[in-house]
Structure 1
């Protein structure tokens, strides 16, 4: 990998880091916000959910625009919008007596910004490299930055909230400003991006053809990504509430405890991104194995009530999730031609945001009955995701198949698509 492009990658890695901090940083603060604003646990979960819902809707549009206009032309304005959203939430929390709905409006703006920033990074990394090994390594770095943000976010959020409960909101525009500077000055977009885009109808025909020819494995990866995020954010929401209500662990201490499973996720994500290279078979089996590890480790929590056992199991679960995520990123990025890559990967990002949006409110509801249901639900949907990976992603089964149907759509990713139908 060229040293100049490493600098580009580091700058791009700041985007998912910033977006993750802007969302996950609030997880340990949610119980405090609930008490300060005198709202229900479901209402406070909507602070995460509204951010994700608007992102779900707008990510495909951002992906299309990034294919047509250029990646940076979408990323930088989106970061600006996300920063403005942070200012709105911070101002409302500081100045208003009843700021809940204005906070939601600010979070909506952040969701708009997030839709055009983080998801566009994946296709841009794919554009930057011709060698699939470099693409996989670059995507591993991006996913590691994402997961590192998840590790740091509960710690940073908890530390900031010890001073003023709404201080995490104010740091979102600061993080956005730093990322804007890095992307604007250091990221050099590929020359191919400057070519005149095809007409919308021609693009739409090409997109439909690509999706039709790859529907089986694309839909499977979309679903797997959504399920993983659903379990991750649902369990984090559950853990944040449980630590405070049952174990009286709050503040900075709670931030560090929440970071334990996320640290495992970050480390395994980095290692997986380095090891998978161009091996589609390895990507498939790491995805399957990681999600099976997630399913069975979470199911084992139902056999004990001990906090240390719970944290150890969640650490193992983090390893499973971290093993799968870079593989999913690589499979979907390397398997699509550059002309449709932004749109296809944006749909994948939308499904991940669906999981983020559904996790906290659904877990808030099922927590009210029996806590074991939380883990049965998590294990059940994880097992379903593992089965999808096993049956829908089969690189070893049809390796080497060729034909007129797949040649045009597969472009530079010929080794991947026919193997994944």
Structure 2
């Protein structure tokens, strides 16, 4: 038999999704893979019922249905603070996962280098390798997961083609400050580097922190490739509706990659999701309040148990310190937790380039009763502290 592709040797399957499968096997509460157990907004699901009968049921325009792109452009232009032409600056993708892959393949040539902050969402290394590029890791240091400016500048001196920026961050919940983003921007301009953003948690930022779109900073609109999705904002992770927003020249490249990668996102789901894109500011304000309340509920429970954690500034994840439990590695702890406690998390080592084995990531995008039951089960950990 001929040899299989060696580029896949650098990574495994998704540890996050693997934890979900183990959780299902043992009937645990899934706080690993970040999806809600509550319904999307009624306006969206009601529209979906009508679309089921009325259509569309065939291909939309490859880079996104016209009305979807127009509503998306109107919404994002308002929040991002940059001009967005629905015909020139948007490609609708099959989730932000495809958006990131499309962005990477549109700008990277084999042998290019890409800066990745560590810890990172596990797809980023895979995306870099699949694009034929080489990752340069820059550490985000706890407890606030800030970067060292000198270390970042040294990474830029290697002349990377792009930097990947997840803001708010998965897995840490870090929200990059405007000062940090301005420093990143200054280096991107100085070294002529693209910035590829993952901003799926753009509307889940807890006071007093604020989300700044790096594309809105001086000189960054033409070199920022903004990737996001509707998954987290509207609780429709299974709909797989994402998008890329960028300069016209970049989007022309993205259109070609997207066309041959997936052809197009689901037409009926785009039609139904327009109802969400047309929401007013109140929806996003209420979304922040909802997740802030869930954050306080869950973190309060962790406090009561006696678990140490890094308080998230945005998104809906929390990194918990498990060093006190005496396991040799966090993967074994994560599996033990599912089997013996009935709660699934993600071993933190899957997010770090560094040799880190003392964290586990939970998410709190669940009904209150689900979180309370999870905390009740986690109370058993007191016996091991």
Note whether the superposition's TM-score is higher than 0.5. no
Bigger strand share? 2
Bigger helix share? 1
TM-score normalised according to structure 2 size: 0.29
TM-score normalised according to structure 1 size: 0.27
